[in-house]
């Protein structure tokens, strides 16, 4: 008999050769219906896997993260089958499940169009209705290469030639066969509710030197309601897209004539950035930071010492020759701060020293991944570097966590936290890395900060705390990052004089709170859907005259507001009031101040807000007090 142990610790014996699906049915018909895969001794398998020896068994259901991934990957196979039925001479690349769905990359003689997505869905429906079982085929790598070469599947052959294992697996349903590790749902009818979403171009293996393929995106869920909710979320994301709102609200632009990935800030977008930067500067000065500025270029020798040329060169621009010496556009601000620190001898009594800079840096990004303000080639980091003693390190990291928490709450974000450990490509000994990781954990736990470990996610010179912002649609954005670095002080010989009168190495903390201004503002646009809280709104109030007779009074009101530092503007066009209100609402102006004959006589304004509608007449002085209170409360 085979002893099967379940996750709750209970166990039961079965005849050898029973499948995981049969065990699920024995446990509960409801469990069997929801089952899509099985975890046997910690490894995912198909439900058809036979149990030949004692084992630990967990039935993976469609609602679990792993179950949803299995369902979506299976849907990608069915989608690929549908495409091969609609097009001739299709070559298959890859088709993984992703965080919110799946995709498949194809090499097609005749490209698909958006109109073809519905045809793909119809074919998928036919394949699903046929209830074709997913069959696992294990064979030698050489035999798999032979089969794929005969089928003309050059991309699969390339993948197989790089697999080190002697045995590989294919999966088959009906006449469709694909290279795959699996597992898959039992049959095609189990792929749930699905929707084909979009088409895109994708280079094979993400390399611009390789062939451009066509990528088809889709999503799938176990239940229809889940899919409908997801599709509505996607529609809301389209409405909030910062590129769309950036045009509509006149915030920023990108010009191909200038170059991809380079942001032009328009007056309203620049005002939002100014408000954020001013807030950032004031909060840093309160916490003992010193503002610095460093050049945009530096000698290549600097980046040889820092390790960037060795570990980061694929993201750097240059070299450019100046006086027969190679220079680089800076990808980071840290080396400049190090040189400022080293301009004189430092005592332990001066530490910690905290340098902060809104520094513009430049990093190469492939054209295919550039996306508005969120992925760019030139951006301004809210950067800072802390030079401290080893004994001060935990306190300094704690201080950065506190500042990050304050800033994120001020901007209306929830967040998740990760501690990222040593990557494969790294400088320094493992012992030094372990000390740095332990200090990060100590600071996080002192702050009662919940975190997950991100194994291998650190930067080449040290581990880090990553704080991911969670926006109104539950999307995660890169936010604050706190990196502990014992390596760069060693490379640049960065020291302080200790209590014993001898020199000791400093510890560096590299940190950003907002990340890049471009990405942060782009994220804010989507988080608020362009309806910024009053303290961030580039225009807080618009004064609207009902007729030309009130223009002089409207100018007077506008002057009062501007004198009190309310960001206001006037609308004195010869348009109907309804048109002026509509335009202000489309531009998402928080306060609409209407002045007519009665308001002129009373020295007041009629107030409409984006949230409460018409709230009646107010004295201008009272309105200014209300606006100030709302701004102070970060509303």
pLDDT of residue 102: 97
The reply to whether 26 and 166 lie within a common domain is no
Tokens of 573: 């066009």
- Judge if 360 and 505 occupy the same domain: yes
465 shares a domain with 335: yes
> Burial letters for 254-273: b for 16+ Cβ neighbours within 10 Å, e otherwise?
beeeeeebbbebbebbebbb
Q: Tell whether 268 is covered by a domain.
A: yes
Q: What is the mean pLDDT of the chain?
A: 94
Q: State whether 384 and 498 are in the same domain.
A: yes
pLDDT digits (tens, 9 = 90+) for 209-230: 899 999 999 999 999 999 999 9
**pLDDT by residue (tens digit) across 111-130?**
999 999 999 999 999 999 99
pLDDT band at 355 (very low <50, low <70, confident <90, very high): very high
User: Is the pLDDT assigned to residue 33 strictly greater than 90?
Assistant: yes
> How high is the pLDDT of residue 461?
82
Cβ neighbours of 205 (radius 10 Å): 15
> What's the average model confidence in pLDDT over 582-602?
94
pLDDT at 209: 86
- How many domains is the chain built from? 4
Same domain, 581 and 628: yes
Q: Is 287 part of any domain?
A: yes
Provide the pLDDT for residue 425. Answer: 83
Q: How many CA atoms lie within 13 A of 498 on its CB side?
A: 13
Residue 189, helix vs strand vs coil: helix
Domain end call among 61, 89, 111: 61
User: Which pLDDT score is estimated for 201?
Assistant: 92
CA–CA distance, 605 with 560 (Å, rounded to integer): 12
What residues does 102 pair with on adjacent strands? 97, 218
Q: Is 248 domain-assigned?
A: no
Q: Is the pLDDT of residue 428 over 90?
A: no
Classify residue 244: in a domain, yes or no.
no
* The predicted structure's pLDDT at residue 487: 86
Alpha helices (H) in 105-241, listed in sequence order:
116-129, 141-150, 154-162, 224-240
- Read off the CATH number of the domain in which 7 is found: 3.10.20.30
Q: What is the 3-state secondary structure (H, E, C) of 368-437?
A: HHCECCCECCEEEEEEEEEEECHHHHHHHHHHHHHHHHHHHHHCCCEEEEEEECCCCCCCCCHHHHHHHH
Q: What is the pLDDT of residue 374?
A: 93
CATH code of the domain covering residue 351 = 3.30.930.10
pLDDT interval class at 382 (50, 70, 90):
very high
Q: What is the pLDDT of residue 310?
A: 84
Asked if residue 534 is part of any domain, the answer here is no
Q: Under a CB-based contact definition with an 8 Å cutoff, are residues 426 and 447 in contact?
A: no
pLDDT tens sequence across 198-214: 999 999 998 888 999 99
The verdict on 231 and 276 lying in the same domain is no
Domain final position from 61, 88, 108: 61
Looking at the fold, whether 512 and 559 belong to one and the same domain comes out as no
Parent domain of 178: 66-236
Rounded to two decimals, what is the model's pTM?
0.86
**HEC profile of 8-33:** CCCEEEECCCEEHHHHHHHHCHHHHH
Say if residues 627 and 534 touch (Cβ distance below 8 Å): yes
Q: How much is the pLDDT for 535?
A: 96
Report the catalytic residues. 334, 363, 381, 383, 385, 464, 510
Domain end, chosen from 495, 528, 561, is at: 528
Query: In 193-266, which residue ranges form alpha helices assigned H by DSSP?
Result: 224-240, 242-248
Three-class secondary structure of residue 521 per DSSP: helix
pLDDT at 318 over 90: no
Round to whole Å and give the CA distance between 333 and 357.
8
| Residue 380, in any domain of the structure | yes
Task: Let me know if residue 243 belongs to a domain.
Answer: no
> Tens of pLDDT along 593-633?
999 999 999 999 999 998 888 999 999 999 999 999 999 99
In this prediction, residue 427 carries a pLDDT of: 81
492 and 548: one domain? Answer: no
Say whether pLDDT at 444 is over 90.
yes
Is residue 125 domain-shared with residue 228, that is, in the same domain?
yes
484 CB neighbour count, 10 Å cutoff: 30
Q: CATH number of the domain that 601 lies in?
A: 3.40.50.800
Tell whether the model's pLDDT for residue 442 goes beyond 80.
yes
pLDDT at 545: 94
**Considering the chain, what percentage of its residues have pLDDT values greater than 90?**
89
* 318, 431: one domain: yes
Could you report the per-residue pLDDT of 143-169, keeping only the tens digit for each? 999 999 999 999 999 999 999 999 999
Q: Of 308, 417, 323, 324, which Cα lies nearest the Cα of 364?
A: 308
Establish if 245 belongs to a structural domain. Answer: no
Q: Are residues 207 and 153 in the same domain?
A: yes
Instruction: Quick: pLDDT tens for 236-273.
Output: 999 999 999 999 999 999 999 999 999 999 999 999 99
Q: Cis before residue 297, ω within 30 degrees of 0?
A: no
CATH assignment at residue 157 = 3.30.980.10
pLDDT digit string, tens, across residues 497-553:
999 999 999 999 999 999 899 999 999 999 999 999 999 999 999 999 999 999 999
Same domain, 416 and 281: yes
């Amino acid at each position: 008999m085979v002893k099967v142990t379940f996750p709750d610790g209970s166990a039961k014996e079965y005849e050898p050769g029973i499948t995981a699906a049969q065990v699920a049915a024995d446990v509960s018909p409801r469990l069997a219906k929801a089952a899509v895969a099985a975890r046997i001794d910690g490894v995912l398998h198909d439900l058809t896997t036979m149990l030949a020896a004692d084992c630990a068994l967990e039935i993976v259901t469609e609602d679990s993260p792993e179950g949803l991934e299995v369902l979506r990957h299976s849907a990608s196979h069915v989608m690929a089958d549908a495409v091969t039925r609609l097009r001739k001479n299709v070559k298959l690349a890859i088709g993984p499940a992703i965080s919110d769905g799946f995709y498949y990359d194809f090499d097609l003689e005749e490209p698909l169009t958006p109109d073809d997505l519905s045809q793909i869905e119809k074919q998928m429906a036919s394949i699903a209705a046929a209830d074709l079982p997913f069959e696992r085929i294990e064979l030698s790598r050489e035999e798999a290469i032979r089969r794929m070469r005969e089928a003309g599947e050059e991309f699969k052959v390339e993948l197989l030639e790089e697999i080190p294992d002697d045995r590989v697996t294919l999966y088959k349903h009906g006449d469709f066969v694909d290279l795959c590790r699996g597992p898959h749902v039992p049959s095609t009818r189990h792929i749930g509710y699905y929707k084909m979403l979009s088409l895109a171009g994708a280079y094979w293996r993400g390399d611009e030197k390789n062939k451009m393929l066509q990528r088809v995106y889709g999503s799938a869920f176990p239940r229809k309601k889940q899919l409908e909710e997801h599709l509505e979320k996607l529609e809301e994301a389209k409405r909030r897209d910062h590129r769309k709102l950036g045009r509509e609200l006149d915030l920023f632009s990108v010009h191909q004539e200038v170059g991809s990935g380079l942001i032009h800030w328009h007056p309203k977008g620049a005002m939002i950035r100014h408000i954020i930067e001013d807030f950032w500067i004031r909060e840093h000065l309160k916490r003992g930071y010193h503002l610095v500025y460093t050049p945009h270029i530096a000698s290549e020798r600097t980046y040889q010492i820092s390790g960037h040329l060795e570990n980061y060169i694929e993201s750097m621009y240059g070299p450019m020759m100046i006086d027969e010496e190679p220079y680089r556009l800076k990808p980071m601000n840290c080396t400049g701060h190090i040189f400022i620190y080293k301009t004189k001898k430092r005592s332990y009594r001066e530490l910690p020293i905290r340098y902060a800079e809104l520094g513009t840096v430049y990093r190469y990004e492939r054209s295919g991944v550039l996306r508005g303000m969120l992925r760019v080639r030139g951006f301004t980091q809210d950067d800072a570097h802390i030079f401290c003693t080893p004994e001060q390190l935990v306190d300094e990291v704690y201080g950065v966590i506190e500042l990050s928490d304050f800033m994120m709450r001020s901007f209306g974000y929830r967040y998740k936290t990760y501690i990222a450990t040593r990557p494969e490509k790294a400088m320094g000994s493992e012992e030094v890395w372990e000390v740095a990781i332990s200090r990060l954990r100590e600071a996080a736990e002192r702050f009662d900060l919940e975190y997950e470990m991100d194994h291998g996610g650190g930067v080449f010179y040290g581990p880090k705390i990553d704080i991911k912002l969670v926006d109104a649609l539950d999307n995660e954005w890169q936010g604050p990052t706190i990196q502990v670095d014992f390596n760069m002080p060693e490379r640049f010989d960065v020291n302080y004089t200790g209590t014993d009168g001898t020199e000791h190495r400093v510890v560096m903390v590299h940190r950003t709170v907002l990340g890049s201004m471009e990405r942060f503002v782009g994220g804010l646009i989507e988080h608020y859907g362009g309806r910024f809280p009053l303290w961030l709104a580039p225009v807080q109030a618009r004064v609207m005259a009902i007729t030309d007779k009130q223009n002089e009074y409207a100018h007077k009101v506008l002057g009062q507001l501007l004198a009190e530092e309310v960001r206001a503007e006037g609308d004195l066009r010869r348009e109907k009031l309804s048109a002026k209100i509509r335009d202000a609402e489309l531009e998402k102006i928080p306060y609409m101040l209407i002045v007519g004959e009665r308001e002129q006589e009373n020295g007041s304004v009629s107030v409409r807000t984006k949230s409460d509608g018409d709230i009646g007449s107010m004295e201008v002085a009272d309105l200014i007090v209300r606006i100030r209170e709302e701004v102070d409360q970060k509303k």
